């Protein structure tokens, strides 16, 4: 499993792991029923504490992305796509609120803000298609 940990990132290591696994699930790189590495193995591969991988897995389980079975391991859970989309929309709305707060402080107009969003969105789409 290709997980990249950045010591310079603003988010804690467990959050970086959680978000990367979540992205692999949402992208279809990890599918329903796929086994995740054991917490111990992932900790060893990433050279981090097993407590950190445990926290990442617990968060993923709490958010409904994986399920864990004692003695068997952790597996990608069957997903309700409507619920996944709803969770993502909620996260987007929360991020937009933060962006809008900063845009107001910077005195950006609605048009300037939407132009920035359009440019960034178009750039990302071209990266995904290229």
Q: Is 83 exposed, middle or buried (0-12, 13-18, 19+ CB in 10 A)?
A: exposed
* Between residues 52 and 7, the one the model is more confident about: 52
User: Over 70: is that where the pLDDT of 130 sits?
Assistant: no
Q: What are 43-71's pLDDT values in tens digits?
A: 999 999 999 999 999 999 998 899 999 99
What is residue 6's predicted lDDT score, i.e. its pLDDT? Answer: 92
Over residues 96-118, mean pLDDT? 96
Q: What angle do CA 57, 94, 123 make, to 5 degrees?
A: 90
Quick one: what percent of the chain has pLDDT higher than 70? 99
Query: Averaged over 107-129, what is the pLDDT?
Result: 92
What pLDDT, on a 0 to 100 scale, did the predictor assign at position 46? 96
Q: Tell me the residue length of the chain.
A: 130
Residue-averaged pLDDT of the chain: 92
Going by C-alpha positions, the residue among 105, 66, 70 that lies closest to residue 84 is: 66
CATH, domain 13-76, list 3.40.1390.20, 1.10.10.10, 1.10.357.20, 1.10.3470.10: 1.10.10.10
């Amino acid at each position: 499993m290709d997980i990249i940990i950045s010591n310079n990132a603003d988010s804690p290591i467990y959050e970086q792991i959680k978000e990367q696994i979540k992205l692999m699930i949402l992208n279809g790189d990890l599918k329903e029923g796929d086994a995740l590495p054991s917490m111990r193995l992932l900790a060893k591969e990433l050279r981090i504490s097993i407590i950190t991988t445990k926290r990442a897995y617990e968060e993923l389980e709490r958010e409904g992305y994986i399920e864990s079975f004692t003695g068997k391991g952790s597996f990608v859970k069957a997903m309700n796509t409507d619920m996944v989309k709803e969770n993502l929309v909620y996260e987007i709305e929360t991020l937009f609120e933060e962006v809008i707060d900063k845009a107001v402080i910077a005195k950006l107009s609605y048009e300037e803000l939407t132009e920035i969003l359009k440019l960034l969105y178009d750039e990302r789409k071209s990266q995904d298609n290229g």
